[in-house]
Amino acid sequence: MPANTDYYDALARDYHLLYRDWESMLEREGLLLRHWFADRDVSTVLDASCGTGTQSIALALIGYRVLAADPSAGMIEQAKRNAAASSVDKQISFLQAGFLDLARMVDTENGLDAIVTKGDAFPHLTDDLEIEETLNGFYRLLRPGGTILIGMTDFEPLIKERPRFVPDRVHDPEDNEGNQIIVFEVWDWDDGPPLIVTINHFIVTGHGDQYDAACYPIKMRALTADEVQVVLLEAGFEDIQAIYDRSELVMIATKPK
Ligand SMILES: C[S@@+](CC[C@H](N)C(=O)[O-])C[C@H]1O[C@@H](n2cnc3c(N)ncnc32)[C@H](O)[C@@H]1O
How would you classify residue 241: left for phi > 0, otherwise alpha for psi between -120 and 50, otherwise beta? beta
**Using 50, 70 and 90 to split pLDDT, how confident is the model at 19?**
low
Calculate how far, in angstroms, residue 230's C-alpha sits from the geometric centre of ligand 1: 22
Q: Which ligand 1 atom minimizes the distance to the CA of 2?
A: 19
Other beta carbons within 10 Å of 76: 24
What integer is the mean pLDDT of 75-86? 96
Ligand 1 first shell, C-beta below 6 A: 2, 4, 8, 48-51, 54-55, 70-72, 75, 98-99, 118-121, 124
- Parallel, antiparallel, or unpaired: how do β-strands 112-117 and 44-47 relate? parallel
Higher pLDDT, 61 or 171: 61
Q: Which ligand 1 atom minimizes the distance to the CA of 47?
A: 6
What integer is the mean pLDDT of 132-157? 97
- Which pTM does this prediction carry? 0.94
Alpha helices, DSSP H only, in 68-119? Answer: 73-85, 99-105
DSSP bridge partners of 191: none
What integer is the mean pLDDT of 170-178? 81
What integer is the mean pLDDT of 151-178? 91
